[in-house]
A and B are shown apart, each in its own frame.
Chain A
Amino acid sequence: MSQPLTEESGTRPLHRLSPGEGGLILTINAAPPIVRRLMELGLVPGTRVEMIRCAPLGDPMEVAIQGVHLSLRRSEASLIHVTPT
């Protein structure tokens, strides 16, 4: 679940998506407790996540998953790799 992925496979870290873009979560590259937590919050691989907007100061960002809107810091979003759709 946490093998690093190369950019050429078309995946991007979540914080690199522009508002309105979305994708399927592929992997989460983080320590096991963090991976587990993010999954419990709904960020399960295979689920579609959409980037909504950035906060006025550029960080954190708002994403939507399973109809829930979450605020997460860019550093946290960078752990999540998605396949843009």
Chain B
Amino acid sequence: MSRPPEVAPSTPSLSLHAEWKSDRRVRTRRIAILGNPNAGKSTLFNRLTGLRQKVGNYPGVTVEKKTGVCDLPSGVPAELIDLPGSYSLQPASPDERIVRDILLGLQPDTPPPDLIIFVVDATHLERHLNLALQITELGRPVVLALNMMDSARAAELDIDVESLQRGLGVPVVPISAARGEGLGSLRRIMEREVEPSTLHFREWPPFLQRVLDRLAARLPRHAAYPDRARRDIAFALLLDDGEDDTLVRAAPPELLDDAAAEARNLDKTHPGWRHQDVAVRFETIREILSRALLTPGDHHHRGRDTLDRILTHRVFGPAIFLILMGAVFQSVFAWALPLMDLIDVGVGAAGRLIEASIPPGALRSLLVDGVIAGVGTTITFVPQIAILFFFLSMLEDTGYMARAAFIMDRLMGHIGLSGRSFIPLLSSFACAIPGIMATRTIDNRRDRITTMIVAPFMSCSARLPVYALLIGAFIPNRWIGFLTLPGLTLISMYSLGIAAAIVVAFVLKRTVLAGPTPLYIMELPPYRVPSWRSVLQTVYERSWLFVRNAGTVILAITILLWFFASYPKNGPEVRALSAERAEAVTNGSTAQIELLDRRISASALEHSTAGKVGRFLEPVIAPLGFDWRIGIALVTSFAAREVMVSTMATMFNLSDAREDVVPLRTSLREAIDPETGRRAYSTLTGISLMVFFVLACQCMSTVAVVRRETNSWRWPIFMLVLMNVMAWLASFAIYQGGRWLGFGT
């Protein structure tokens, strides 16, 4: 087939990477690691790169891009890319779409690799070779890494590596990534120029090839496209299943119409054409394996049967699951506390160090209350993230995570989610930040975003001090049956959050995030002993990623909030109080000075931008029973919910309320509305405010982490608006409804 003259790419996503082909000699080798989920891909990637990894996102999608550097035996570094686990080159998820786009040379920021290390689980060759074969058909250089050889040996599986090599036409290296076996040979091959397999050209049946060629000829032309890839693109257009696909979007619309017409025609003339190639491929695999598998091996891992009988047992299964989850949850909750306290102490010390070395003023205030506070907020989350991810990657690597999803699937299915959403939501009771980060195990994009958006409804540990303060101030300590009224209130707040999450998830999955029901098929991998290296690497990677990406946003917002709470400075009211204080220094008591100091802080906050916003908000929040003082606390608590307590303390001229909230409770109860002279807050106000805290998104760190995980501002802003509107409506209903019923006077 003669090739028309090269023309410039007509669409950006079909642009080609001719420029790197030419400088192949000088630049570093790009090597991709690819394989089915559960093949041990990431373990191998971690082994080869160590801590020299970089995690980012592919532009415009939620898919994570992991790259790293690996030294080859000659000392030359190679660039490694860990591609998302996939089952097929006909993608069913954004992850798989990225893999296909990269391999076909359609991904603008990521050129096709010079070499593909295809990782397979040696104990599940038949299944894993399906994608391996599709890759070799692309005519790109492939090395097959026969992973988990230790398990294969244990299962008495005898694999003839030579025969497998001959059957596939690519080099095969037996390894065990978890144990570090065979990596030397793999590194040596990574340095070689590997020739693409010549055995498995993709062969299309003639009737299909004619159609594909017709469509391929009309695709925008590019020099470096092998003709075979053009047919693959045409096939993808032909199979277009209505899912949002980059390839389909990039194609000219009239070409798509024709492809749809051709597909309808093929359905009539050759039913089964859509999946004929899959059946043929498995046929080929069986043929190759009939020679390469010397013993059939023992597919039934005896240990697995016994373990599964217990772990997914009708009664013991859920019981063990609940105990395990309780332990994980308790650890995140309890183990993180001392570490968080330690960080608090460290942040305090850093603040004092700066206070000692810099004279009082705007710079010192910015450093202490802006920069150090922001950095402090960021690292306070690290213990929780690290501990949660320690357990999560243990559960994932042992294979238990899939069982947990198996057990919980039915329950979560009722609200349109799957079993995979359960653990992220449970983790969110400790803190939504690690919870949202844990949604990465959910394959379906819509399910993942839904889970992220409802996760902050779970009452996190930062809400507890707020509940404690308000319950202490407004809820009488009376017994109702076997519970106290305060206890009952606390349970109600937690339940309200859960109920809100259920309703919102249910509604989102039917409206904004509605879509065709995905297949919830999931592998239940064999149980394995986790590799400590891999677990600790995940912990490190997740913690660092949070600090680097979400931390930047948190720091910026903290500085902004600091500015709002500090400026404008020295208004007439503050100046008057300062003059009074100067007088008190000469002839007043220490108590008088301290009181004036607190009044200065309160007045400064009241007349700052935050104070003005609080006042400005008053008409909006007055129907909820909140006055401007609460308004200010709502603004400042965006830094972190518990800041509400210290802001209220400042507003009521109290010293730091962290040690002792009793005086603050009294102040809240007895607060007077200066205009009416009556009590400012009733029990109804307290309940309304608590409900507001249950539902409102008042946590910049949550916003920052959703932005990082979805790689866009769209979903965090959606979440922010949705939650705050819901909070307002609920508090409005409670306060106004309560008043109408005669409470709260």
Contact = CB atoms under 8 A, between A and B. Distances in A.
Contacts of B349: none
Given A1-B272, A40-B87, A71 B407 contact: no
Contact of A33 (B241, B318, B522): B241
A69 B524 contact: yes
A60 B520 contact: yes
A37 B523 contact: no
Given A55-B406, A73-B413, A40 B90 contact: yes
B275 A35 contact: yes
Given A35-B274, A59-B413, A68 B124 contact: yes
B89 to A, nearest CB: 9
B127 A66 contact: yes
B126 A62 contact: no
Question: Which bracket fits the contact residues of B?
Answer: 35 or more
Given A33-B241, A36-B90, A67-B126, A57 B405 contact: no
Contacts of B410: 55, 57-60
A34 interface: yes
A73 B87 contact: no
A52 B523 CA distance: 13
A1 B276 CA distance: 10
Contacts of B308: 52-53, 62
B275 A1 contact: yes
A36 B278 contact: yes
A41 B521 contact: yes
B250 to A, nearest CB: 20
B279 A45 contact: yes
Contacts of B312: 53, 55-56, 62
A17 interface: no
B90 A60 contact: no
B130 interface: yes
B130 A40 contact: yes
B279 A56 contact: no
B3 interface: no
Interface in A24-45: 31-42, 44-45
B271 interface: yes
Contacts of A53: 308, 312
A71 B465 CA distance: 42
Contacts of A58: 410
Contact of B406 (A44, A64, A71): A71
Given A32-B241, A36-B90, A76 B274 contact: no
Interface string B58-92: 00000000000000000000000000000110101
A85 B482 CA distance: 58
B314 A67 contact: no
Contact of A67 (B90, B92, B299): B299
Interface in B683-736: none
Contact of B278 (A39, A59, A70): A39
B407 A55 contact: yes
A62 B406 contact: yes
Given A36-B275, A39-B279, 7 more contacts: A33-B239, A57-B409, A66-B124, A67-B127, A70-B522, A71-B402, A71-B524
9 contacts: A36-B274, A55-B312, A56-B312, A56-B407, A59-B409, A67-B123, A71-B524, A72-B522, A76-B519
